[in-house]
Chain A
Amino acid sequence: MSEIQIIQTTLERTARRRRLQSAWRGLWHGLFAGGALWLTILGLYKLAPVPEQSLTLGGLAALACLPIGFLAGWWRKPSIVEMARWVDGKQHFQERLSTALEVAGQEKAGRWRDLVLNDAAGRAREFDFRKSLPYHLPVIARWSVLILVLAATLGFVPEYRSKDYLQKKKEKEVMREVGKQLAELTQRSLERRTPALEPTQKALGEVKELGDQLAKLRLNRTEALRELASVTEKLKDQTRELGKDAAIRKLERAARSQTGQSSQSPGELQKQIDSMQKQLGNPNATPEALDKLQKELQKMQQAAAGLPDNDSAAAQQQKEQMSQAMSDLAKKAEELGLSLPSLEEAMKALEAGQIDQFLKDLKFAEIDLEKMQAMAKAMQQLQTEMAKLGKDLAEQLEKGQAMSAQSTLQKMIEQLKSANLSEEQMKKMLEEVDKASKPGSQYGKVGDFLKDAVGKMQQGDKPGAAQSLANASDELKKLMDQMGDAQSMMAMMAALQKAQMCVGNCQGWGQSQGLPRAGKGGKPGRGVGTWADENGWGTDYVEQTDRWDNSGIERPDMEGRGVSDRGEGELADGLVPTKVRGQISPGGPMPSITLKGVSIKGQSKVAYQEAVTAAQSEAQSALSQEQVPRAYQGAVRDYFDDLKE
């Protein structure tokens, strides 16, 4: 190896080492920078309401500092000349290496070139780059570790947030959740059933839009409450409009009662019952009898678990007793018409002395019995339902069983269309339709169509009668669609009210119970001085079994009792106004009514906050509908806002 090669090799190795060292130092610098960045962001986050995303971004940026630092150190490859100068300076080689590199290419240097190279090569041989560039932790490593420790410690320090900020944050979360829930509910409702009426579809669309707006936090709390109240009012108006139709009201009542729940015709129900009966066998196989049998089986299972597994006399005796009991049980099952093959196999296993198999078979027998019991119960329920169903069209219409009535009408149409309808059958049908025309008159034009059908049947116009019956069926369907719309809107209204409570009380969707409800039928209950919706439409149907709670009852279309047009006579004695102050005039004092107080015993089950929110929501609704004179709107708003605070 020539002298210049020795010098160059030494310098190249040193350059590599130095580059690595530089990258190593860069890594620590990166760690320091990243740590400092993270510490700063964490500190900021702990002190100020910086968005949480900034922590993620800061963390990523801090992590990125490490490879960046490493690469920054690694990136610059020192040239061999630079290294020569660096080594000269570091080792006090008096510029021997750098001069040698320079002179090496100068032929004119002559003998001096050899002398310089020889001198420099001697120094290069002595130079050990490992000693000059040892791997050790740079000074900044200490600071980096300190910063990391500080950051870790700071992580345990709880962040400071003002009450206002926390409140606003929670409000936003609640609004987002409420918005999502509203939009989702509406979407599901629309997917399940497309509204028949355009206004309903439009109203539901508005609810969905409002939900989206809330989810995207485009509204503040006050605006959200106002919008919710406004949309709720619109829905209420539409529902009320639908509720004016007596036919729909009747259908709705029937739908709420158990009699209107079945969507099957009596024939279909009977078919199901017969099929179940056939599977069960004997009509005596009632759920009670099966339950008794099951209990006996369970007792036997317990006894069998204690059976000794040997051939002693006592064991033999016990097995005989068990065998006897088993045969009694099998006899009872046979009497009930039940087919339990597992029971017979269990007996065989007992006779063979296979206790484990015996227990297994007993278990299978129990499972079979459970299945039969469930079937018996289902059959009993169907029988009950069957009993409640109207026997003929008139009865079905009377009970508001629209589905069954439609089904019956459909059958009649098919019979009329078929060629082999006997005179007797025609007469019977005529009588049934005639009888149904009176209850049918409760459902708009249904009565007229039925009468028309009777006339045509009397004239022997079978196709005409079938058409009239089809028209009646269509009319019923139309009414049911309208009722479905109303139900959708009511469900949506309940959701909106719950949303108001959530936003008003700053509670999550799952936490909120919705607005406090009136009792059965929405009528004023045992409380005195309650405010209630008296038309029976638009209230919910949840049975209230607890004590009457009158703190949140809605009165959407009513003014205070004091100015009600229903007359003083209808008020409870305790509610008769005794003193009226002021006049209703812009700029004048607020009218107020003093009522005799009635003490309601017991503790309120509604939280103050919820009650206030309900009242505020109601007030908001009244304000948005211009039910409060303009001059008093500010005062009303301030009053309820103050209550909230």
Chain B
Amino acid sequence: MTTEEQIQSFRQTWENLRAEIGKVMVGHEEIVDGTLFAIFAGGHVLLEGVPGLGKTLLVRTLSEVLDLSFNRIQFTPDLMPADILGTNLVVESPEGRREFQFQRGPIFAHLILADEINRATPKTQSALLEAMQEKQVTAAGEIRKLAEPFFVLATQNPIDQEGTYPLPEAQLDRFFFKLIVGYPTGAELTEVLNRTTEGVKAQVGKVLDGANLLELQTLVRQVPVASHVKDYAVRLVLATHPKTETAAPIANQYLRFGSSPRGGQTLILAGKVRALTQGRFNVSFDDIQAVAAAALRHRLILNFEAEAEGVTTDHVIAQVLRDVPRDATAVAA
């Protein structure tokens, strides 16, 4: 398949995916797009929102439109790492011998829904670290590769704080995007009610299988990025590093830690996906800006002053985007 055909295929797949998901999901286009960006970039997504906004539904729908194996893990405080990764069980062979056999956990699937991930203990949460980054698990002294493509789509509830364990920074950094799921508008809510209370269940078809998805992920990575656009992504990330020469004033004021290099990678990769979805063959400043909030918001650590003043990482990112010029060497108009 030629590049043009691949690009055409990407765009067609993109449109089909959105159409199929749109049959189930009402509104939340940004969330759907963000989730798809992450999937085409090969990243994991953390969905945050109050209960009942359709986070789980989105992931379930995704599992249906993607012809991939799907497992759902409901995170609870008593959930153990072995419950996720799997464990060695003593089994009796037909010959009557007893031996250890590895029983795979739910992590061994293409698409994992880590529902209410912040309800599990840090120990259990960290069981996902290796799987998310290395796409492999180490259990009973043996490394086991996970099937590709592998995605973790986690959800968390921001309001029910009792009995929850906030995700550690290392864990958060492994998520490609953090998407905030907001309330639906009146019209959207009406449509939700119509779809869910009249006994008609929408049927979605498979749009993309794993092999195709991997091909499209490869295609995404080939999208060219101009040096000054890359430079912009770098300057954005550097601007979030407080107490440095490149720091934006707001970063110095409200941030304790800035974005890791993964933030920069996310900006570029997500930008590439966005460029293709927009019918372009190159990444633009607009692409970087459009994905900046989702890519950076979970990578910035606010200081006490920001917490006290109710400043969120989204505020900081918005200000950083205003402070950092798009092209440092551009001729003034």
Most chain B C-beta atoms within 10 Å of own C-beta, residue among A18, A95, A109, A115: A95
B228 touches A85 (CB 8 A): yes
Chain A nearest CB from B36 CB (Å) reads 20
Question: B224: which of A18, A85, A86, A112 is its contact (CB, 8 Å)?
Answer: A112
Closest to B330 in A: A85
1/0 contact string of B2-22 vs chain A (CB within 8 Å) = 111001000000000000000
B222 at the interface (CB under 8 A from A): yes
B3 touches A99 (CB 8 A): no
From 268 to 322 in chain B, residues with beta carbon under 8 angstroms from any chain A beta carbon are 278, 280-287
Most chain A C-beta atoms within 10 Å of own C-beta, residue among B3, B281, B283, B286: B281
Docked pose: A204 CA to B17 CA in angstroms? 114
Residues on the B chain within 8 Å of A96, using CB: 280, 282, 284
Closest to A111 in B: B3
B229 at the interface (CB under 8 A from A): yes
B227 at the interface (CB under 8 A from A): yes
Docked pose: A500 CA to B282 CA in angstroms? 91
A78 at the interface (CB under 8 A from B): yes
B227 touches A85 (CB 8 A): no
A416 at the interface (CB under 8 A from B): no
Chain A nearest CB from B205 CB (Å) reads 30
B333 touches A89 (CB 8 A): yes
A335 at the interface (CB under 8 A from B): no
A82 at the interface (CB under 8 A from B): yes
Residues on the B chain within 8 Å of A492, using CB: none
B331 touches A99 (CB 8 A): no
Docked pose: A323 CA to B283 CA in angstroms? 120
Residues on the B chain within 8 Å of A103, using CB: 224, 226, 282
Residues on the A chain within 8 Å of B93, using CB: none
Closest to A96 in B: B282
Residues on the B chain within 8 Å of A86, using CB: 330-331, 333
Docked pose: A112 CA to B333 CA in angstroms? 30
- The size class of the interface chain B forms with chain A is 20 to 34
Residues on the B chain within 8 Å of A119, using CB: 280-282
Most chain A C-beta atoms within 10 Å of own C-beta, residue among B4, B224, B226: B226
B4 touches A111 (CB 8 A): yes
Residues on the B chain within 8 Å of A111, using CB: 2-4
A94 at the interface (CB under 8 A from B): yes
Docked pose: A119 CA to B330 CA in angstroms? 22
Residues on the A chain within 8 Å of B229, using CB: 95, 99
Residues on the B chain within 8 Å of A109, using CB: 224
Residues on the A chain within 8 Å of B331, using CB: 18, 78, 82-83, 85-86
1/0 contact string of A104-117 vs chain B (CB within 8 Å) = 00100111110110
A94 touches B227 (CB 8 A): no
A-B contact count (CB 8 A): 73
Residues on the B chain within 8 Å of A110, using CB: 3
Closest to B223 in A: A112
Docked pose: A366 CA to B149 CA in angstroms? 133
From 117 to 145 in chain A, residues with beta carbon under 8 angstroms from any chain B beta carbon are 119
Residues on the A chain within 8 Å of B283, using CB: 95, 99
B130 at the interface (CB under 8 A from A): no
1/0 contact string of A86-106 vs chain B (CB within 8 Å) = 100110001110111011001
Closest to B285 in A: A95
Question: B281: which of A78, A89, A106, A115 is its contact (CB, 8 Å)?
Answer: A115
Residues on the B chain within 8 Å of A90, using CB: 333
Most chain A C-beta atoms within 10 Å of own C-beta, residue among B2, B223, B224, B287: B224
Contact of A94 with B228 at beta-carbon distance under 8 Å, contacts A85-B329, A89-B333, A115-B4 already known = no
A102 touches B284 (CB 8 A): no
Question: B3: which of A83, A85, A112 is its contact (CB, 8 Å)?
Answer: A112
Residues on the A chain within 8 Å of B287, using CB: 94
B44 at the interface (CB under 8 A from A): no
A99 touches B226 (CB 8 A): yes
Chain B nearest CB from A357 CB (Å) reads 89
A116 touches B281 (CB 8 A): yes
Docked pose: A100 CA to B223 CA in angstroms? 12
B326 touches A89 (CB 8 A): yes
Contact of A82 with B280 at beta-carbon distance under 8 Å, contacts A95-B229, A95-B285, A99-B229 already known = no
Docked pose: A361 CA to B78 CA in angstroms? 149
B209 at the interface (CB under 8 A from A): no
Contact of A116 with B4 at beta-carbon distance under 8 Å, contacts A85-B327, A89-B333 already known = no
Contact of A94 with B286 at beta-carbon distance under 8 Å, contacts A83-B331, A112-B223 already known = yes
1/0 contact string of A235-252 vs chain B (CB within 8 Å) = 000000000000000000
Chain A nearest CB from B207 CB (Å) reads 25
Docked pose: A116 CA to B282 CA in angstroms? 7
Closest to A102 in B: B226
Docked pose: A248 CA to B218 CA in angstroms? 126
B228 touches A98 (CB 8 A): yes
Residues on the A chain within 8 Å of B329, using CB: 82, 85
Residues on the B chain within 8 Å of A112, using CB: 3, 222-224, 281
1/0 contact string of A199-240 vs chain B (CB within 8 Å) = 000000000000000000000000000000000000000000
B227 touches A102 (CB 8 A): yes
B333 touches A99 (CB 8 A): no
Docked pose: A18 CA to B331 CA in angstroms? 10
Most chain A C-beta atoms within 10 Å of own C-beta, residue among B223, B287, B327: B327
Docked pose: A83 CA to B327 CA in angstroms? 12
Residues on the A chain within 8 Å of B3, using CB: 110-112, 115
Residues on the B chain within 8 Å of A82, using CB: 329-331
Closest to A95 in B: B284
Docked pose: A96 CA to B287 CA in angstroms? 13
Docked pose: A593 CA to B223 CA in angstroms? 117
Question: A99: which of B278, B282, B286 is its contact (CB, 8 Å)?
Answer: B282
Residues on the B chain within 8 Å of A100, using CB: 282
Docked pose: A89 CA to B330 CA in angstroms? 9
Chain A nearest CB from B223 CB (Å) reads 7
Docked pose: A98 CA to B227 CA in angstroms? 9
Closest to B275 in A: A94
Residues on the B chain within 8 Å of A106, using CB: 224
Contact of A89 with B223 at beta-carbon distance under 8 Å, contacts A95-B229, A111-B4, A112-B281 already known = no
Closest to B284 in A: A94
Closest to B222 in A: A112
Most chain A C-beta atoms within 10 Å of own C-beta, residue among B2, B229, B329, B330: B330
Residues on the A chain within 8 Å of B223, using CB: 112
Chain A nearest CB from B222 CB (Å) reads 6
Chain A nearest CB from B21 CB (Å) reads 26
Docked pose: A96 CA to B2 CA in angstroms? 22
Chain A nearest CB from B130 CB (Å) reads 33
Closest to B288 in A: A95
Closest to B280 in A: A94
Chain A nearest CB from B10 CB (Å) reads 13
Docked pose: A94 CA to B224 CA in angstroms? 13
21 contacts between A and B (CB under 8 A): A82-B329, A82-B330, A85-B331, A86-B331, A89-B327, A89-B333, A90-B333, A94-B282, A95-B283, A95-B285, A96-B284, A99-B225, A99-B229, A102-B226, A103-B226, A111-B4, A112-B281, A115-B4, A115-B281, A119-B280, A119-B282
With A94-B287, A115-B7 known, 17 other A-B pairs at CB within 8 A are A82-B330, A83-B331, A86-B330, A89-B333, A94-B280, A95-B282, A98-B226, A98-B228, A99-B224, A99-B225, A99-B282, A103-B224, A111-B4, A112-B3, A116-B224, A119-B280, A119-B281
Closest 9 CB pairs of A and B: A94-B284, A99-B282, A99-B226, A111-B3, A95-B284, A115-B281, A86-B331, A85-B330, A116-B281
Identify the B interface with A (CB < 8 A): 2-4, 7, 222-229, 278, 280-287, 326-327, 329-331, 333
